[in-house]
Amino acid sequence: MPFKKSSTELVALFDKALPKSALVERRKMFGYPASFVHGHFFAGLYEESAIIRLPQPLRTQLPDLAQATGFDPMKTGTAMKDWLVIPPAIVARPGGLAALLEAALPLVAALPPKAKKQTKGSARKK
C-alpha cells in the first residue's frame, strides 16, 4: 500500500509550527518530517495529517486534543498507543498547530529521556 507524500504547504506549516527550542530534534519518521524530544517522538506528519504522541495523562492537559482521533497508519482499526491525529481544524487555524505544539513541549520534555538503543556494532567486545 503506497503512502502519499505530505503536501509542501503542510510541510512548511509544520516546520514553522515547531517550537523554537534546542530540545526539539528534527528527523524523519515513516519517511515524513518529524520531531523528537529527549529521544521521544514528539510530533510529525503522515500523509496529509499532523500527528503527536502523548501518553494519556498528558493528553488530558491539552483540551485541543479532546477531538483527536487515534493514529492508525496501516488502517487496521487499531490505533497506535498514545499516538493521535491532531484535529484538522487545529492545523487549519492560523497559529493553532504552533500553539498546540508549544503547549505540548513541556509535557514531553518532562518525560525521562529515552535510553539509546545499542546497535549491533556498538557493543564492546571483552
**Whose CA is closest to 104, among 39, 37, 47, 49?**
37
87 close to 74: Cβ distance less than 8 angstroms: no
Express each pLDDT in 51-73 by its tens digit: 998 888 888 888 888 889 999 98
Between the two ends of the chain, the Cα-to-Cα distance in Å is 45
Q: Where are the domains of the chain?
A: 8-109
Given a cut of 60, whether residue 122 has pLDDT beyond it is no
Instruction: Evaluate if pTM is beyond 0.75.
Output: yes
pLDDT in tens, 106-120: 988 998 898 877 767
Of the two residues 10 and 61, the one the predictor is more confident about is 10
- Where does 8-109 sit in CATH, by number? 3.30.1460
- The Cβ-side half-sphere exposure at 68, using a 13 Å CA radius, reads 27
pLDDT tens-place string over residues 72-98: 988 899 998 889 999 999 999 989 999
CB 65 within 8 A of CB 30: no
Give yes or no for residue 18 having a pLDDT over 90. yes
